[in-house]
Amino acid sequence: MSATSDGFQEALDATLPILQSMTKNLRVKPKATRTSLENLRISLPASFEKPTKTAEKTIKPSHPVTPVVSGKDDGRLAKLEILKKSILTCTRCPHLVTSRTQVVYGVGNPFAELLFVGEAPGEEEDLRGEPFIGKAGQLLTKIIGAMEYTRDDIFIANILKCRPDMPGGESGNRKPKPAEMSTCLPWLTQQIELIKPKVIVALGLTAVEGLLGEPCTMRDVRGKWLDYHGVPLMPTYHPAYLLRNQTLAEKRKVWEDMLLVLEKLGRAISTKQQGYFLEKA
C-alpha cells in the first residue's frame, strides 16, 4: 500500500467506528459504508489523498499506537502485539460484542513501572478506543502530572475492555457486572505479566473488587497496600468520585495514596508535592 493510501486507510479506520456508533444511536443514519468510502478513494485524484498537516493533527487512530518506549525489550513488545491482536478481536462476551464500537485495549508505556486500572470504558472511550479520556480521564491525567509522570510513562487499562451495554441502547454508562469482569480479567492479567509494573493503582471500588474477585468496602481498602499476583496494589477513589466530591479533604486522601505509591516506587517527593491539598489552617 502506498503512503498516500496508508493515510486514507488511517482516516477510514478512524471514521468507521464513529459511523457505526452514529448508525446505532442516531435517528438520522449516516449513509457511508467501507465499500462506498473505498469507492470514494478510488474516484479521488491523488492530491486529495495526500494527508495535509491539519489532517495529520485531527486523524486519531481507532487504537492508539504504541507510545514512547523507555525500557530494554526483553521480547515483551512482540508478545504484547500478539496479545493485543487477540484482545482486539475477543468475542467472549457476545452481548458486549454486539454493542461495542471497539475493544479498548489500554494505553501507555509497555515498560511502565506504574499501572492504573479502571473498571470499564464509557461511551467516549468506546468511541475513541482509549481509556480515561472523558472528564474523569482528564482529572486522572492531572493526578499523573502531579506525580511527575506523563500518560506516556505509565500504562492505563480497564478490567472490562468492552463498554458495558446499556438497556435499549440508552446513552450513559453502567457498572460492569462481576461475571463480566471475571470473564475479561485474564486479559489484564496477561498484560500485567508482560508489562511487569512495580505498582498497580486500582481506581474505584469496582476496579478493586474486579481485581480481588470479592466484594469489599472502600473504607476497608483505600490507602492500604494489597497484592495482585505479587504486585503491590493500591486502591484509591475513582477520579469520577473526586469530580462529585471536590473537597480538599477528599482530594488529599487520593493524593496521600499517590504519595505512598511514589514512595513505593522510590521516587523523590518534593516539599511542594508533600503539601498538595492540605487543609489551610
Q: Rule CB under 6 A: say whether 97 interacts with ligand SF4.
A: yes
Distances (CA, A) of 133 to 2, 106, 130, 143, 223: 32, 11, 7, 14, 25
Residue at grid coordinates 512482540? 78
Q: Please, which residue, 176 or 235, has the CB nearer to ligand SF4?
A: 176
Q: Rule CB under 6 A: say whether 96 interacts with ligand SF4.
A: yes
Q: How far is the CB of 185 from ligand SF4 (least distance, A)?
A: 9
Q: Rule CB under 6 A: say whether 90 interacts with ligand SF4.
A: yes
Binding segment for ligand SF4 (CB under 6 A), chosen from 16-24, 49-57, 85-93, 123-131, is 85-93
Q: How far is the CB of 122 from ligand SF4 (least distance, A)?
A: 14
Closest CA to 269 of 280, 261, 277: 261
Applying CB under 6 A, which of residues 24, 85, 92, 177 lies at the interface with ligand SF4?
92
227 backbone dihedrals φ, ψ, rounded to 5°: -135, 135
Site for ligand SF4 in 157-176 (CB under 6 A): 160-162
Q: Please, which residue, 77 or 97, has the CB nearer to ligand SF4?
A: 97
Binding segment for ligand SF4 (CB under 6 A), chosen from 45-53, 86-94, 140-148, 238-246, is 86-94
Q: Write the binding mask 13 to 52 for ligand SF4: x where contact by CB under 6 A, - elsewhere.
A: ----------------------------------------
Q: Please, which residue, 160 or 195, has the CB nearer to ligand SF4?
A: 160
Which residues in this chain contact ligand SF4 in the complex, by CB under 6 A? 87, 90-93, 96-97, 103, 160-162, 183-184, 187
